[in-house]
């Protein structure tokens, strides 16, 4: 352990070895908060604390896995295995498996993912005959989610005139009824959605003091990473559990609170000292992640926020390169710049693809980047899209598995009752739902008891329904003895799923089939990792729980050497050598939706701070002059955030733009916050505006005669150094002087063979070579 402790600076060491009592570490990005948490856990164990008594809550499963791996390195695998470590959702899902029966849930309850929840809400809206253009499923979903995260139960909702009025004002007066029906249906289906995992845990700990006492006694040491982004529900759980021993250590950075829109409450971190007695507060100031230029740039940006704690962040790392600001013409051009810069940097500096990340404000922006990376054959991976387990073909298989474990699971049943097609139409399903609602039975039970239910279904269909139940029952029997893999394989074959997919000879169909195979492989791995579990049924349940809570960040399948593409929200806590932040434009970042109040704008700025501080060596900011948005090509303006960075930390490679003059526009950041007034971007000086409004068509890059630099920011219409001829002397940034001995290819593919004075002969793609013709 001593060896590891010596890897901490003094400020980090102090909280690491402070064993007891409540403590908080507030510190800026990259200062080692996560490292302290990790080492602290190892330290506690080295001091004899039983891993069973330690609970560590992280923001992503990936973070938990990494932390556990690191701790295993220090204290050994077998000890680390017993730690309770994971996201709030995964840890409390486990607890609810044991304790959910107090609340009337079966231990094999299903976890509805967002798709399942939204489907159920959609059908409720339909059953209630409501206008789906007013009761938009996604909006209804996020509304209900926010009630839950604020612990507003159905009962509490109907006691809250303000909430009801707000919904009525939004032309959705029947929200409460939908909410109630949704909760009832989940309960009947033996299902919990993501928010329930927290809400029901709170309910459990509040209503059952014995259960609370048991877990308080168990979790004697509690640690929480990214505490600034906990919501009310999470906050209460932590407080309840820590109440007895008060050995709670939370770490966070108020400047990185970026989930307010989903109910995270920054006050949880600000008020921590009030919540516990004798809180010890620690600060870390030294950043180990980034260069001086990146730290300086990030500090200068966050300075513009009014609501913040005073913090110092400095680094002893190299000065490094300045943050590069690049102007592109269109998003296609922006993508090409990103791809070519990655390509060039990778070559020049001998880097891996995984040293690069491209971050954006909204998922839609990934398309142009993807196109460009694909053209250059640069492997990439999009995080946070549809996760593997949410693909249709995968959800179809897992729906069968879910139904085997929990036949009350309404969404699973609806998914597979007629897939593959077995002649059970939607009308029949609708009638089954009506009958189920009327009799209080589950749909599955209605089918089982068809003869005793008054239902208008013809005999032919009744037989098909009976066949379906027989099929599922046979799987249930098999589940008593077989392991999850054998069962899953059997199901895909005998349900007709594989046959169905096999009929689809298109490339997409083949991919789907491969995906199902991949799922089976995954189950096999899982089963093999779980041999010690004697009960076969358990392994299936655990597997389904794992995948229900899997996010796209977790299952890093495939070649690990890829460029990472993700939204900034997802990048929290991560780090990469080179980071591109694309779409640095007004109305995109900051988002047009987040400029109505100062607090919204400040959250956008914190988001930018998070983005910048992911970079270790080099950060790039790109913006375009015009961008397709809402189906139209619109003029874009550089983001105000670019202008907020101190000059000394950035390098504007396309120097058409003058810097923003804060003196001219100081009034906009005046003290009084106008109520709901759009926080317009400060006016930019005239010349700059004129330059920026130029359309891409009439926009030419003039290159000074004497200094012919190949500028990789040019669009593809540019010809690359067409006047370069054999025999010319050139200068290359890294290789120095040389003579052109051959030229091949045209335009974007033109290459020159150059014999350099140092003796090397190199073939260089002119687009990247940055040659100066002398
Ligand atoms: P964020 O706010 O982004 O979550 P953080 O405060 O959690 O950042 P870490 O991720 O723990 O910071 O650390 C940032 C980087 O610095 C990591 O690569 C970590 O390994 C490294 N690091 C932290 N402390 C030290 C140290 N004392 N010596 C060397 N490297 C360190
Ligand atoms: Mg961290």
My answer on whether 324 and 371 are in the same domain is yes
My answer on whether 32 and 128 are in the same domain is no
Write down the pLDDT at residue 546: 84
Mark residue 56 as left, alpha or beta (left: phi above 0; alpha: psi -120 to 50; beta: remaining). Answer: beta
Among candidate residues 137, 172, 189, the one where a domain is terminated: 189
Burial of 278 (0-12, 13-18, 19+ CB in 10 A): exposed
Query: What is the enclosing helix (H) or strand (E) of 122?
Result: helix 114-127
My answer on whether 397 and 496 are in the same domain is yes
**Nearest CA residue ID for atom 8, ligand 1:** 30
Q: Which residues of the chain have pLDDT under 50?
A: 532-536, 656-677, 685-687, 689-720
771 CA to middle of ligand 2, Å? 41
Helices (H), 662-735: 686-693
Query: What is the enclosing helix (H) or strand (E) of 751?
Result: strand 751-756
In a domain? residue 710: no
SS3 668: helix
288 CA to middle of ligand 1, Å? 6
- Encoding tokens for residue 373? 């990376």
Judge whether 30 is annotated as a binding position. yes
Cα dist. 62→57, 58, 355, 446 in Å? 12, 9, 18, 42
Q: Which residues pair with 708 in a beta bridge?
A: 773
Give the count of domains, the chain: 5
In a domain? residue 716: no
Write down the pLDDT at residue 746: 72
Ligand 1 atom nearest to CA at 614: 3
My answer on whether 42 and 12 are in the same domain is yes
713 CA to middle of ligand 2, Å? 34
Contact 424, 468 (CB under 8 A): yes
SS3 311: coil
**Nearest CA residue ID for atom 31, ligand 1:** 288
Instruction: Give the global pTM.
Output: 0.80
In a domain? residue 458: yes
146 lies in which domain range? 110-189
My answer on whether 419 and 518 are in the same domain is yes
- Ligand 1 pocket, mutate which of 35, 253, 579 (most atoms under 8 A from CB): 35
Distance CA 340, CA 354 (A): 15
Three-state DSSP string of 261-278: HHCECCHHHHCHHHHCCC
Contact 381, 558 (CB under 8 A): yes
Sign of CA dihedral 270, 276, 280, 282: negative
In a domain? residue 290: no
My answer on whether 232 and 207 are in the same domain is yes
Q: Angle at the Cα of 665 (from 661 to 666), degrees rounded to 5?
A: 105
Q: What single string gives the DSSP state of each residue in 320-347?
A: -PPEEEEEESSHHHHHHHHHHHHHHHHH
Ligand 1 atom nearest to CA at 38: 11
In a domain? residue 445: yes
39 CA to middle of ligand 1, Å? 12
31 CA to middle of ligand 2, Å? 8
DSSP state of 680: P
Please give all residues whose beta carbon lies within 6 A of any atom in ligand 1, as ranges.
7-9, 12, 27, 29-35, 253, 256, 288-289, 573, 575, 613
Contact 406, 190 (CB under 8 A): yes
In a domain? residue 661: no
My answer on whether 523 and 440 are in the same domain is yes
The candidate with the shortest Cα–Cα distance to 138, out of 118, 168, 113, 120, is: 118
Query: What is the enclosing helix (H) or strand (E) of 417?
Result: none
pLDDT digits (tens, 9 = 90+) for 189-241: 999 999 999 999 999 999 999 999 999 999 999 999 999 999 999 999 999 99
- Ligand 1 pocket, mutate which of 8, 9, 30, 67 (most atoms under 8 A from CB): 30
My answer on whether 399 and 517 are in the same domain is yes
- Ligand 1 pocket, mutate which of 62, 288, 357, 568 (most atoms under 8 A from CB): 288
Ligand nearest to C-alpha 256: 1
pLDDT digits (tens, 9 = 90+) for 446-476: 999 998 888 899 999 999 999 999 999 999 9
Write down the pLDDT at residue 564: 95
**Nearest CA residue ID for atom 20, ligand 1:** 35
CATH (domain of 318): 3.40.50.300
- Encoding tokens for residue 363? 């998922």
Ligand 1 atom nearest to CA at 29: 2
ipTM of predicted assembly, 2 dp: 0.99
My answer on whether 411 and 429 are in the same domain is yes
The candidate with the shortest Cα–Cα distance to 754, out of 738, 770, 766, 765, is: 738
My answer on whether 333 and 343 are in the same domain is yes
Among candidate residues 511, 538, 565, the one where a domain is terminated: 538
Distance CA 546, CA 538 (A): 12
My answer on whether 157 and 242 are in the same domain is no
List the catalytic residues: 33-34, 225-226, 256, 614
In a domain? residue 722: no
In a domain? residue 254: yes
My answer on whether 183 and 122 are in the same domain is yes
CA dihedral 62, 66, 69, 70 (to 10 degrees): -160
Q: What residues contact 580, with CB distance under 8 A and at least 6 apart? A: 338, 341, 342, 356, 357, 358, 359, 619, 620, 622
The candidate with the shortest Cα–Cα distance to 382, out of 547, 508, 518, 553, is: 553
Among candidate residues 241, 262, 284, the one where a domain is terminated: 284
The candidate with the shortest Cα–Cα distance to 62, out of 518, 563, 570, is: 570
DSSP state of 593: G
Beta strand pairing call for 576-581 and 615-624: parallel
């Amino acid at each position: 352990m001593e060896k590891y402790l010596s890897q901490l600076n003094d400020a980090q060491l102090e909280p690491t070895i402070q064993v007891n009592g409540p403590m908080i570490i507030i510190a800026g990005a990259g200062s080692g908060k996560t490292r302290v948490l990790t080492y602290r856990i190892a330290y506690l164990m080295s001091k004899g604390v039983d891993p069973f008594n330690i609970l560590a809550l992280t923001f992503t499963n990936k973070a938990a896995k990494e932390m556990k791996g690191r701790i295993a390195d220090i204290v050994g695998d077998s000890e680390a295995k017993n730690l309770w470590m994971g996201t709030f959702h995964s840890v409390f899902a486990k607890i609810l498996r044991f304790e959910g029966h107090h609340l009337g849930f079966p231990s094999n309850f299903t976890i509805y993912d967002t798709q399942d929840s939204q489907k159920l809400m959609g059908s409720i809206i339909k059953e209630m005959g409501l206008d789906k253009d007013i009761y938009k499923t996604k909006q209804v979903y996020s509304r209900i989610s926010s009630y839950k995260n604020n612990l507003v139960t159905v009962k509490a909702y109907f006691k809250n005139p303000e909430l009801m009025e707000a919904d009525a004002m939004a032309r959705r007066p029947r929200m409460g009824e939908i909410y109630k029906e949704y909760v009832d249906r989940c309960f009947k289906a033996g299902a919990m959605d993501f928010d329930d995992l927290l809400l029901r845990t709170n309910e459990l700990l509040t209503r059952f003091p014995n259960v609370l006492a048991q877990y308080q006694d168990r979790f004697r040491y509690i640690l929480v990473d990214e505490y600034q982004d906990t919501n009310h529900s999470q906050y209460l759980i932590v407080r309840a559990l820590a109440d007895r021993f008060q050995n709670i250590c939370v770490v966070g950075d108020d400047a990185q609170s970026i989930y307010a829109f989903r109910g995270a409450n920054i006050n949880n971190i600000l008020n921590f000292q009030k919540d516990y007695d004798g809180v010890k507060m620690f600060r870390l100031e030294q950043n180990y992640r980034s260069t001086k230029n990146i730290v300086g740039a990030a500090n200068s940006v966050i300075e513009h926020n009014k609501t913040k704690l005073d913090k110092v962040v400095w680094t002893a790392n190299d000065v490094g390169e300045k943050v590069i600001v690049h102007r592109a013409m269109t998003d296609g051009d922006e993508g090409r710049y990103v791809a070519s810069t990655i390509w060039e940097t990778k070559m020049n500096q001998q880097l891996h693809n995984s040293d690069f990340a491209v971050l954006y404000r909204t998922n839609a922006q990934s398309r142009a980047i993807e196109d460009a990376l694909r053209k250059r054959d640069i492997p990439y991976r999009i995080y946070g899209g549809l996760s593997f387990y949410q693909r249709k073909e995968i959800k179809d298989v897992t729906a069968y598995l879910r139904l085997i474990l929990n036949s009350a699971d309404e969404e699973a049943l609806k998914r597979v009752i007629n897939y593959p097609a077995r002649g059970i139409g939607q009308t029949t399903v609708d009638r089954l739902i009506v009958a189920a609602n009327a009799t209080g039975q589950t749909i599955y039970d209605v089918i089982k008891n068809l003869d005793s239910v008054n239902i208008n279904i013809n005999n032919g269909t009744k037989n098909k329904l009976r066949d379906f139940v027989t099929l599922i029952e046979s799987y249930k029997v098999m589940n008593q003895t077989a392991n999850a893999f054998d069962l899953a394989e059997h199901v895909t074959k005998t349900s007709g799923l594989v046959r169905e997919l096999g009929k689809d000879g298109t490339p997409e169909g083949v991919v789907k089939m491969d995906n199902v195979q991949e799922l089976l492989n995954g189950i096999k791995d899982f089963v093999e990792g779980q041999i010690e579990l004697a009960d076969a049924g358990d392994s299936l349940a655990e597997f389904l729980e794992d995948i229900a809570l899997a996010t796209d960040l977790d299952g890093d399948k495939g070649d690990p050497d890829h460029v990472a593409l993700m939204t900034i929200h997802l990048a929290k806590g991560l780090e990469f050598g080179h980071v591109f932040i694309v779409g640095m434009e007004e109305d995109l970042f900051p988002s047009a939706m987040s400029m109505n109040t100062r607090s919204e704008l400040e959250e956008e700025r914190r988001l930018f701070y998070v983005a910048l501080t992911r970079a270790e060596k080099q950060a790039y900011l790109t913006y375009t002059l015009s961008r397709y948005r809402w189906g139209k090509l619109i003029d874009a303006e550089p983001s105000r955030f670019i202008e907020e960075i101190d000059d000394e930390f950035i390098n504007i490679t396309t120097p058409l733009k003058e810097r923003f003059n804060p003196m001219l526009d100081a009034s906009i950041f005046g003290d009084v916050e106008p109520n709901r007034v759009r926080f317009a971007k400060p006016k930019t000086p005239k010349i700059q505006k004129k330059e920026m409004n130029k359309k891409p068509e009439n926009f030419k890059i003039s290159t000074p005669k004497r200094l012919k630099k190949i500028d990789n920011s040019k669009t593809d219409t540019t010809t690359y150094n067409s006047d370069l001829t054999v025999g010319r002397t050139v200068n290359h940034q890294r290789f120095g002087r040389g003579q052109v001995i051959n030229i091949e290819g045209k335009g974007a593919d033109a290459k020159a063979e150059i014999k350099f004075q140092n003796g090397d002969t190199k073939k260089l793609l002119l687009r990247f070579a940055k040659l100066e013709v002398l």
